[in-house]
Chain A
Amino acid sequence: MTDLLAVRDLTVHFATDEGIVQALDGASLRVGPGEVVGLVGESGSGKSVTALAILRLLRPPARVLGGRIEFDGLDLQACSEEEMRAVRGAQISMVFQSPRTSLNPVLPVGHQIARLLVQHGAIRPREARARAVEMLREVGIGEPERRARQYAHQLSGGMCQRVMIAMALATNPRLLIADEPTTGLDVSIAAQILDLLGDLGRRTGAAILLITHDLGVVARRCDRVVVMHAGQTVEWAPVRALFHAPAHPYTRALLRSIPRVVGTGEMEPIPGWVPSLLAPPPGCRFAPRCALVRPECRAPVPVRSVDGDHRVACVAAEAS
């Protein structure tokens, strides 16, 4: 399968007053057409930075130092700003974590969708308005005509997220990046939103890069998973393989840290803290927290295949 999106060795630093924050250190991932890929990791592991880097929306103090981002064979870093604008919103769109604050408070929501349609498609404002109402209906918003004229503050959080999804899919993008799309929504609404995302993704054939810290969500919604830790991607696996045979010690620790209601498995927090990205340990950044740590962990860790499409960046993985 040829990749729709391929990110290789992405390195991003932030220059701050305290020093250089090494936010991403050789992050890699790929997303096939129509695939749902989960990007998981703790807070601050670089998930959102990866998303913004793909769209080339990182602004100073962030700096992309290296790596390659290919979308549908196109080298995004080599694109002009003009070309990039044609990609954003039309080819790759994004759903954010706080839907209410991601909508412009002074514009009616239907208007915001219509604007986007006019901007990216050869479509007249009148048609765009009708299409916007249609999109709202499609994402399950009741009374779409009335809702289209309302403002973000008049809608519930769940409804705002539906609007965001309608907007993200309005232009039929090839890839949808959903950055923790259910943060701040209650459980049942969150499930509905994820169902909706999956549904629409399947129907429109859009691939989804689902950024989350919730492994339960990953298990149910994703085809493949990429695990991130402290700015490094540490494991890539089909979703079943990840849950049945996690290879990286961090992934295993992450799985053990999920609280369980049934069974005897105790919840085990991961020892230690996410290392400071100001002075991260050389080599594997999980090494200081890892039970299987070896001297080789202090050097750049090669990526090895565990089983077909299941790959891991760990020297100790084989021993386990």
Chain B
Amino acid sequence: MSLAALGVLAVVALAALAAPVLLPYDPDAPDAERTLEAPGHRHWLGTDLYGRDQLTRLVYAGRVDLLVAIEATAIALSVGAVLGAVSGYRGGFIDQVLMRIIDTIQAFPSFILAMGIAAALGNSVTNIVIAIAITHVPIYGRLIRGEMLRIRETEYAEAARTVGNRQRRIMFYHLLPNCFPPVVVQATLAMGFAILTVAALSYIGLGIRPPTSEWGAMTAEGASYIVSGEWWIFVFPGMAIMATVLSFNLLGDALRDVLDPRMKGV
């Protein structure tokens, strides 16, 4: 199952990387002669209202979605790691302050918060990345703080202190890497969630702006054609979102089984 998930993700990622080589069409170029064409040998997944090739748009959309998810995760992870490490290792007042900030972020439903941030900053790709990153910081901050609380009491932490390391060095060089196994699992799961958020933001028009193709936006465009029978515009991007997110979740579960033997069979 996890191999299948890895396979799906590999296909999506490779297709996204090799898009210009693989596909003969321009994702954004309209073709007035071939609008709303059903899937066939010329356009495998059909065309949309403007005659754009759906397969091409789907693959280019994968590029955007994956990139946003990766960037947002990278930023959230970096910020969360610093906050969590300092909070967990130092404890006391700093811990209290940082954790209350994280509590504040978490007090908002994360999608509403992402919507708010995207709406306030304007919906460029960068701003979407920032919005999702902010909503994801608490996930990593809390997790790493918890791990740090445990790891700072280990003997190798004590040993690192006895040889005269600076506090910063102990935190980030000696201890932080030891916090990572559960973080890898969490990051994989959160990637799926990030993709879902981009798609949802775009679906309601606060995310990636047309004509750039994006799965959520494509689904939104397709939604108005369900009744008139042009199902392919709606179904394929929806399936792409579902398959990718599901794959990230399955992969995350598989990683957890590998990295944390205690959770096996749970």
Contacts and interface: CB of A to CB of B under 8 A. Distances in A.
Contact-residue size bin, chain A (C-beta under 8 Å from the other chain) = 20 to 34
Nearest to A98: B155
B126 interface: no
A106 interface: yes
A103 interface: yes
B254 interface: no
Interface string B140-157: 000000000000001110
B260 interface: no
A86 interface: yes
Given A104-B174, A106-B177, A106-B178, A57 B156 contact: no
B243 to A, nearest CB: 34
Contact of B162 (A94, A106, A119, A120): A94
Interface in A170-211: none
A148 B155 CA distance: 20
Nearest to B174: A104
Interface string B147-174: 0000000111011111111100000001
A119 B178 contact: no
Contacts of A116: 163
Interface string A88-121: 1110011010100111111100000000100110
A88 B156 CA distance: 15
Contact-residue size bin, chain B (C-beta under 8 Å from the other chain) = 10 to 19
Nearest to A105: B178
A89 B164 contact: yes
B166 A85 contact: yes
A84 interface: yes
A274 interface: no
Nearest to A96: B155
Dominant secondary structure of chain A at its interface with chain B? mixed
Nearest to B167: A81
B161 A88 contact: yes
A94 B178 CA distance: 22
B164 A88 contact: yes
A104 B160 contact: yes
Contacts of A167: 163
A258 interface: no
A62 interface: no
Given A104-B174, A106-B177, A106-B178, A89 B163 contact: yes
A225 B143 CA distance: 47
Contacts of B163: 88-89, 93, 116, 119-120, 167
Contacts, number: 55
Given A105-B178, A106-B177, A106-B178, A96 B165 contact: no
A87 interface: yes
Contact of B164 (A90, A102, A104, A164): A90
B159 A102 contact: yes
B156 A104 contact: yes
Given A106-B177, A106-B178, A55 B162 contact: yes
A151 B159 CA distance: 16
Contacts of B165: 85, 89, 119
Nearest to A90: B164
A108 B174 CA distance: 12
Contacts of A103: 156, 159
B159 A84 contact: no
Contacts of A107: 174, 177
Interface in B21-64: none
Interface in B159-213: 159-166, 174, 177-178
A102 B158 contact: yes
Nearest to B177: A106
B155 A101 contact: yes
Contacts of B161: 57, 88
Contacts of A93: 162-163
Contact of A119 (B155, B156, B164): B164
A94 B177 contact: no
A60 to B, nearest CB: 9
Nearest to A120: B164
Interface in A38-57: 55, 57
B222 to A, nearest CB: 47
A86 B178 CA distance: 26
A90 B163 CA distance: 7
A211 to B, nearest CB: 14
Contact of A94 (B154, B159, B166): B159
12 contacts: A55-B162, A57-B161, A57-B162, A84-B164, A88-B163, A89-B165, A103-B159, A104-B156, A104-B159, A104-B160, A119-B165, A120-B164
Given A93-B162, A107-B174, A120-B164, 20 more contacts: A55-B162, A57-B158, A84-B164, A85-B165, A85-B166, A86-B164, A88-B162, A89-B163, A89-B164, A89-B165, A96-B155, A96-B158, A98-B155, A101-B154, A101-B155, A103-B156, A104-B159, A104-B178, A107-B177, A119-B164
Closest 10 CB pairs of A and B: A89-B163, A88-B164, A85-B164, A89-B164, A102-B155, A94-B162, A101-B155, A106-B177, A102-B159, A104-B156
